[in-house]
Amino acid sequence: MFNIIEKLSNVFSLGQAADPTRVSDKLKESILSNLDDGEELIHIIRNSRAFYNAKAPRDKNTYYNSRCILTNRRFLIIRNLDYFKLFREIQLPKITDHKIEKSKSEVIITLISETGEDVIEFSKNMVSFAEEFSGILSQTLKVAMDKYSINKEGKIEKKCDNCGKFIAQETKFCSDCGHKFY
């Protein structure tokens, strides 16, 4: 009951919506339990709409009022619930291009990958949060492109911090220099 009253007071106070980066402890715990070993949660934000323009027309979809989760390896779009329900997952190294369009009334982030195009829209009451998120996303994509690569089979490889060789993601030791991954 208190949660409902808090949400309503946030909506009606000064005409501002609730903080889109705030998540319940239950949801955060659910998200963390769905991350892979060594994967770090970087940012979470609620959006207005997320469109998936797949190359195959039957796979196209739109998600309203969903959440974007950015980790050091993946970009996830989940339902806006108190538990983790995945809509879309994009491996960061598989993002070939991205655009960030800003105006006074909205921020639109477009992610282009081999499977299609994802368009994430943030409404005017989320613009400041979305601008911060877009900066974090750009930095994270740069780091991911330096750290990860895609091999000929389309699988993601990680870069050895010691010798610079790209090796399979699940490998615990570098085959060239013997460096151990934690």
DSSP string covering the chain, please? -HHHHHHHHHHHGGGPPPPTT---HHHHHHHHHTSPTT--EEEEEE-SEEEEEESSGGG-EEEES-EEEEESSEEEEE-SSSS--EEEEEEGGGEEEEEEEE-SS-EEEEEEETTEEEEEEE-GGGHHHHHHHHHHHHHHHHHHHHHEEE-TTS-EEEE-TTT--EEETT-SB-TTT-PBP-
* pLDDT per residue as tens digits for the range 42-59: 999 888 788 888 777 788
* Confidence check: pLDDT of 17 > 80: no
Q: Residue 64 and residue 11: Cα distance in Å, rounded? A: 18
Predicted pLDDT of residue 38: 81
The pLDDT, as a whole number, for residue 14 is 45
The domains located in the chain, with CATH, are 19-150 (2.30.29.30), 153-182 (no CATH)
Mean pLDDT calculated for residue range 103-130:
86
Distances (CA, A) of 132 to 43, 44, 61, 136, 181: 10, 11, 26, 6, 31
Q: What percent of the chain has pLDDT over 90?
A: 14
Q: What percent of the chain has pLDDT over 70?
A: 88
Is the pLDDT assigned to residue 102 strictly greater than 60?
yes
- pLDDT score, position 75: 92
pLDDT at 150 over 90: no
The CA-based angle 127-139-130, given to 5 degrees, is 10
- Predicted confidence at residue 15, as pLDDT, reads 47
User: pLDDT grade, residue 129 (50/70/90)?
Assistant: confident
Q: Of 12-26, 91-105, 115-129, 135-149, where does mean pLDDT reach its minimum?
A: 12-26
Averaged over 111-116, what is the pLDDT? 86
Q: What is the mean pLDDT of residues 6-28?
A: 67
